[in-house]
Structure 1
């Protein structure tokens, strides 16, 4: 690396401190570099990633989060194998902020790493880049022994939205041993344009983990499948209000009149967020039979519930 110290006096003043024997001095020098405008100092930050002090490497990794270029992506990817957990976490965070699809080429190979942390971080880094090269390794990672890796692989496939991933995602949504993976898979199925995913989502509505039931209820509303209202109506009696809330929201999207009794009951629930969603759903359904309960809800102690009830009354009036 060659830097002309005469080009930037601010950088020139910091460079000697980057070579200081005292790690604290070097760390502060990195922090001072991070405060500079432009990107002329980026090569020095990349160099600092190889410092013997974990604190210096940590600050350099944090600073490089704001700069996306082949050299920085490659350097942060190598840092995923650092001996210090905090440094590894900072590198993973920086890589999760990538926006340029070309950056994925420097990360895809790490999905096959022997370190599960590295595999998960690489998958998280390529997730939003939506590159075709990430499909095959992400699909293979669905069978990883580590639940975090499987969850990140599910997220990658959810962003890619390829029909050929649906069978594997359906399998994980109903069969994976980890609740967080089943939940992620249930959410990822939301891009499907086929009713073939319905069995997996209906199984999700009966999952032992309420978080999975919540996600399945939400996804069913997004897909707007005609066969789903009865299952969602049953979910309005779920022991967890979070599941009831998502079911109410989905039933509103589906404009399901068979949900009226359950939604009217939800208007009197102790959780105000659920009362609000019930009111909004009743407005979307548009049945005049809900007007009496909605007028009562317009006097609810919670302002958000009152607002939702008034909006629902207005929607029903417009529909009529």
Structure 2
């Protein structure tokens, strides 16, 4: 029996924008077998909120027609629509989806280029390498940030030199930070000067990233700089430096790590305890025993684990010497 109620298709073309918007939201949860043909026309809706919801409803669809349409939405007159399109495109998984986005990496407004780079980043598409390299000197910092992010995902050795240069000299602190993190895939000590310089950067977030990256790369030559970083004005940097000293099993870091066991920030005390356990030096036993009375239960637990680790390491060394 006909109820007289408007169908979903009717609501999608209703004169009232609110009705159309709610219909778009409802569409993915409807019984429609193929919602794409119903959604694509809404990308041209006169109402920006309807277009935004249509963009969001198309997330997860990677047909060429959909990706092409979403790429075009990066040029929409409404900032909210552009942002939604960038977010949805950033969830693409199929490297074939990169094709409609490639022309946008090097032409058009800076905002569009930045969104396009963000969209292709996780695709790890080799075709994005050249545009990303060329955009490292873009006048817009947002474009440079996203281009550096793409290169970090691609992990192409050919980009290491340029990324090191950006990490050391880009005028934007966030660009430098991202570049420092991107150097975490480098397998060469050639990046050491850039990373140690970053440990003295004026922006603490860059120093923080550098301290972490040096640990990832296991660059023992950086130990003196990491020890110095344990005196950084920002405890967040000290946390990363402590973590890296532990990964490097840097005995030279013992005094600074032991001193950190009484710091007011419990996160730093935790990392210092973990690092002392990883280093395994028996000189840390007495300070770690003191940490068993720390007011933070996590610090106390980690101190027990660190003492056990040192004891096991000492036993292994003794048995090895006696065999």
Question: In which range does the TM-score fall when normalised by the shorter chain?
Answer: over 0.9
TM-score by length of 1: 0.94
How many residue pairs get matched? 309
Structure-2 residue corresponding to 1:219: 213
**SS of the counterpart of 1:228?**
helix
Q: 2:291 aligns with which of 297, 308, 315?
A: 297
What is the root-mean-square deviation of aligned Cα atoms in Å? 1.3
Map of 2:34 onto structure 1: 40
1:65/1:93 contact within 8 Å kept: no
State the match for 2:21 in structure 1. 27
* Whole-angstrom distance in 2 between the partners of 1:258 and 1:37: 66
SS at match of 2:283: helix
The alignment's TM-score, normalised by the length of structure 2, stands at 0.93
The separation in 2 between residues aligned to 1:287 and 1:141, in whole angstroms, is 47
Is residue 182 of structure 1 aligned with residue 182 of structure 2? no
Equivalences for residues 41-190 of structure 1 within 5 A: 41-190=35-184
What are the residue-to-residue correspondences of 1:203-242 with 2, within 5 Å? 203-242=197-236
| Residues 210-255 of structure 1: CA deviation (Å, up to 9, x unaligned) | 1101111111111111211001000000010011000000000000
Q: CA deviation at 1:39?
A: 5.6
Deviation at 1:299, TM superposition (A): 2.1
Question: Displacement, 1:154?
Answer: 0.6
Q: 1:24 to 1:207 in 2, by over 3 A?
A: same
* Moved segments of 4+, more than 6 Å: none
**Counterpart of 1:4?**
none
Could you tell me which residue of structure 1 aligns to residue 195 of structure 2?
Answer: 201
Greater Cα offset, 58-67 or 118-127: 58-67
Q: Determine the C-alpha separation between the residues in 1 that align with 2:102 and 2:33.
A: 26
* Higher deviation after alignment, 70-79 or 174-183: 70-79
- Give the superposition deviation at 1:23: 1.1
Say which of 5, 11, 16 aligns to 1:17: 11
Residues 291 and 300, structure 2, Cα contact 8 Å, conserved in 1: yes
Q: Note the C-alpha offset of 1:66.
A: 3.0
Match of 1:282 among 276, 279, 298: 276
Corresponding residue of 1:192: 186
Q: Which runs of 5+ in 2 are unaligned?
A: 1-5, 315-323
User: Could you tell me how far apart the structure 2 residues matched to 1:240 and 1:255 are?
Assistant: 23
When structure 1 is superposed on structure 2, of 256-265 and 291-300 the one drifting more is: 291-300
Describe the shift of the 1:46–1:265 C-alpha distance in structure 2 as closer, same or farther (beyond 3 A). Answer: same
My pick for the range that moved more, 107-116 or 249-258, is: 107-116
Describe the SS at the equivalent of 1:259: helix
Q: Gapped runs of 5+ residues in structure 1? A: 1-11
